[in-house]
Copies of this chain bind each other. A is one copy, B any other.
Amino acid sequence: MQQILINGHWVESSSTDGFRALNPSTGETREPVFPRSNWHDLDSMAAAATAASVHPANAEPDRIGRFLDLFAERLDANRSRIALVAHEETGLPLETRLAQIEFNRMLGQLREAASAARDVTANSWRSPLIDAESGIRSDFGPLGGAVLTIGPNNFPLAFHAVSGGDFAAAIAAGNPVIAKGHPLHPETGSLLADCAAEAVLEAGLHPATVQYFHQCHPEDGLRLIADPRIAAVGFTGSRAAGLSMKAAADASGTPCFLEMSSVNPVFVLPSALSEQGARIGGEWAASLMMGAGQFCTKPGIAIIVGDGADAFVDAATSGLQEAAPGVLFSGAGVERLAAGIDSIEAAGAVLRCGGASGSPGSRFEPSLLEVDGDDFLKSFEALSQELFGPVGLVVRAGDMEEASRIAARFDGQLTATMYTGDNDDAAWTALESTLRVRCGRLIENKMPTGVAVVPAMVHGGPFPATGHPGFTAVGLPTSVTRFAMRRCWDGVDPRRLPAWMR
């Protein structure tokens, strides 16, 4: 049985319950057995994290920055091995996706977080305010407990609980992290956590600054979320799992940052559709298949308005039909996708292409479903569900009035997109106020799958896309404040304050 990382040491879990991962490209079971932790494991981590949260070394911005840089350096030194294991566990392409693009994104985020951790200027995430006249000062600082990070299946490096965006932000804010790996890529997580543990040691932070377990029973996980030693939760994954965690966190008053499901509607406005329907349809199909359709920003639903619909649908269909089946992360994912397509057909949509699983391993054909706007509105709940895989639904809206009614039905989304042509100014305006407040990122004339890691990015949005509309999970240093508290010193002798508050 593989070990877990508690308080700086890889140790045996006190649980004897184990699991194995699969290679989804081949369907083969992988060798190592990983423990499914019990409450005893989690309790030990929470206790150690509490000590880390008050350890003086962990209050030093430079030391935190040094850890993050050292961690990135060690990851880079182990790039080929980590990327290969991630490829074997997820089926995502080794080159260039994992070994280059996602790996570099992970390293870049950690290094940006290092800069953010070190930054104590007035423009930093700390937002220090010093009112010398009244003797009142405030800034953002650590939460005083552990941040529990729970990463998704679809970005085994850049969103991993022990190396991804939530991790980087929580550490930069000065918090210890307890990271839960994803059971579909446990060996990847072990390799990442091992680099983190070595960097913690070398940087001289408290050994419990980063702790790691592979999986747990859901009831123990919810108990940990509700435990007062957990100061915040960062979760990326499905809506069902996210809502159960949110309920546990809410009941105990724990801030819980969720990044859940989103169908990312794309509206192709009349002038764009008639002028460039075929091109945009092809672009949509390509975007649907990125990461085998397992991106949280997959544009799952395209609403095309007016004339030119056939050219769009034909181009999208061709694009999807020409592609090989995509490798999903698991057989369970294939089953959920097939069931989702069935329920969407049952609700009135027509399957234009695809719809079947493939082999070896966990494969699924790129698929297209179609429905007209009237039927979409009638069965909105069933038809607007997220399908995690290379599948899209095209909605043919008769006119802008119908498109407006459709836009108003969507709840919170990570993104909403409008494709505009030369004569779509009025159409843009008609939808803008509706869509603007329903998404974190409003996009014009490109697909939402690219999430640039720049400070101005917002990877967030109103519930249920996330748990709170005021934050972003991507884009340092803004993402750091999710894991910070606003703290004030009133009349406190300046020599007792952090250097940047004097």
- Among A441, A456, A472, the most chain B Cβ lie within 10 Å of the Cβ of A456
Asked whether A490 lies within 8 Å of B136 as measured between CB atoms, the reply is no
Which residues of chain B are within 8 angstroms of A463 by Cβ–Cβ distance?
Answer: 252-254
Contact yes or no, A496 B432, CB < 8 A: yes
Verify B138–A456 contact, CB threshold 8 A: yes
When distances are taken between beta carbons in the complex, the residues of chain B under 8 Å from A475 are 138
Known contacts A137-B456, A470-B140; decide if A440 and B491 are in contact (CB<8 Å). Answer: no
Report chain B residues within 8 Å CB of A77: none
How near does chain B come to A486, taking the closest CB pair, in angstroms? 5
* Set of chain B residues within 8 Å of A432, measured between Cβ atoms: 496
Selected from B445, B458, B471, the residue in CB contact (under 8 A) with A488 is B458
Specify which chain B residues have a CB less than 8 angstroms from the CB of A460 in the assembled complex. 486
Q: Which residue of B lies closest to A425 (CB)?
A: B496
Copies in the complex: 2
Residue of A141, A481, A486 contacting most chain B CB atoms (<10 Å): A486
What's the least CB distance linking A280 to chain B, in Å? 14
Contact with B along A126-168 (1 / 0, CB 8 A): 0101110010111011111100000000000000000000000
How far apart sit A433 and B468, CA to CA, in the bound complex (Å)? Answer: 29
Return A331 CB to nearest CB of chain B, in Å.
32
Query: In chain B, what residue has the closest Cβ to A442?
Result: B489
**Chain B residues, CB < 8 A from A436:** 141, 144, 487
Distance of A454 Cα from B488 Cα, bound (Å): 12
Q: Are B456 and A486 in contact (CB under 8 A)?
A: no
Q: A290: CB under 8 A from chain B?
A: no
Contact of A136 (CB < 8 Å), options: B411, B457, B481, B484: B457
For A458, list chain B residues within 8 Å (CB). Answer: 138, 486-488
How far is B467's CA from A432's CA once the two chains are assembled, in angstroms? 32
- Of the listed residues A137, A253, A462, A491, the one surrounded by the most CB atoms of chain B closer than 10 A to its CB is A253
A444 contacts across to B, CB distance below 8 A: 489-493, 496
- CB-CB under 8 A from A253, the residues of chain B are 246, 412, 462-464, 467
A299, chain B: closest CB distance, angstroms: 13
CA distance A415 to B138 in the complex (A): 13
Cα distance, A454 to B443, chains bound together (Å): 38
| Segment 84-133 of A: residues with Cβ below 8 Å from B | 127, 129-131
A95 to B97, CA, bound (A): 70
- The B-contacting residues of A in range 387-419, CB under 8 angstroms, are 411-412, 415
Task: Please measure, in the bound complex, the distance between the C-alpha atom of A241 and the C-alpha atom of B402, giving whole angstroms.
Answer: 42
- The contact sample of 16 A-B pairs, CB cut-off 8 A, is A127-B478, A129-B455, A138-B478, A144-B462, A145-B437, A252-B463, A253-B467, A255-B470, A420-B493, A441-B487, A442-B489, A444-B496, A457-B488, A462-B485, A469-B485, A470-B482
